[in-house]
Amino acid sequence: MAYRLRYTANLDWVGPGQGPMGGGLAVIPGSEAGGAQTIQFDNTPGGQNTPGTGSGGIIQSSEITTITNAMAADIAAQMNVAATLARIQGFASGGG
């Protein structure tokens, strides 16, 4: 038995004056980002996988920690690609 974690992360630029009154800043899939510039990151193909090593194939707490840490590492790696990072940094000056 195995478990797969699939995910999407949205990074929004919330500029001066937008603040919490700028609209849907708590981004829920399908909702608006309150006028913010947004870049979306999706899981790597296949997501993050872990076997269920507990009795009967159940997932263990340590495996949940492992796959969520892998998710964080994946998103960080995607954001830190030079061209992507430059795009994100450009949000502050109206680029992107």
Q: What is the mean pLDDT of the chain?
A: 84
The pLDDT value given to residue 4:
94
Q: Which residue has the higher pLDDT, 3 or 46?
A: 3
* pLDDT tier for residue 41 given thresholds of 50, 70 and 90: very high
Residues 61-78: tens digit of each pLDDT: 999 999 999 999 999 999
Q: Where are the domains of the chain?
A: 2-93
Residue 20 has pLDDT above 60, yes or no: no
Alpha-carbon distances, residue 3 vs 7, 38, 40, 60, 79 (angstroms): 13, 29, 24, 11, 25
